Amino acid sequence: MVFLSVAVVILTALVLIDLVLTGAVIRQLRDTEKQLVEMNTPPDTGMAPGELMPEFVSPDSDLSRTDLAGKRTLVAFFSTGCRHCPAQAERLAERADEIAGRGITVVSVLGVSEGDTEELSPLLRKAGRLITENGSGEVAGAFRAFSTPTLLVFGEDGVLVANGHSLDEVLGGR
């Protein structure tokens, strides 16, 4: 009987240790999951729906807010060092005819870092107007587009109607 009592006490101690360790593992998994979500969640696009298109002038002074007045406009921000930008630039080029057919003017802003090549330029030119800036330039700053890709759709009245990090997110899938 003493042997059975000792076995029950040892077994109880082992079960309690197992519960404590399991709780610690679950807590660690939750912390890790929270960190992964934070790492994979893109930063806010900057501008919120309902805001007016900011005043801006392209570096070559060929395009400004005034030139886009009265037009539905998609302003898309890309950068040469962005890993998600090539896929979105390709999607934009593929859908260029459809977007134009919907009466939307496309303006792409490409931030080029020193030493990077402009591989995205040909794709972005297929979709519409292309503005090239060094790094995160004045146009990106005016639109508060501090992460790429960032896509902003403005109505004819110059008010932001949709924002996001993918073309399908702001215009819907095809």
Q: What is the pLDDT of residues 38-54, one digit of tens each?
A: 666 555 667 889 999 99
Instruction: Give the residue-averaged pLDDT of 19-36.
Output: 85
Same domain, 75 and 32: no
CA 129 – CA 107 distance, rounded (Å): 5
3-state helix, strand, coil in the chain (%, to 5): 45, 20, 35
Q: Please state the rounded mean pLDDT for residues 90-111.
A: 94
Are 129 and 110 a contacting pair, CB within 8 Å? no
Q: Which two tokens stand for residue 49?
A: 């729906």
Q: Has residue 163 got a pLDDT over 70? A: yes
Let me know if residue 108 belongs to a domain: yes
Count up the domains in the chain and report the number. Answer: 2
Angle at 154 between CA 149 and CA 157, to 5 degrees: 165
Collapsing DSSP states into helix, strand and coil, what is residue 137? Answer: coil
Provide the whole-model pTM: 0.74
C-alpha–C-alpha distance, residues 49 and 52, integer Å: 9
Based on the domain organization, do 86 and 122 belong to the same domain?
yes
Domain that holds residue 123: 65-171
* Judgement on whether residues 7 and 75 belong to the same structural domain of the protein: no
Using the predicted structure, report yes or no on whether residue 135 has a pLDDT greater than 80.
no
CATH number at residue 108: 3.40.30.10
| CA distance to 9, 26, 118, 139, per residue, from 155 (Å) | 73, 47, 29, 19
Assess if residue 49 is contained within a domain.
no
* pLDDT tier at 118, thresholds 50, 70, 90: confident
81 and 30, same structural domain? no
- Please give the pLDDT value at position 113: 81
Separation between Cα atoms, residue 45 and residue 119, nearest integer Å: 23
**Is 9 a member of any domain?**
yes
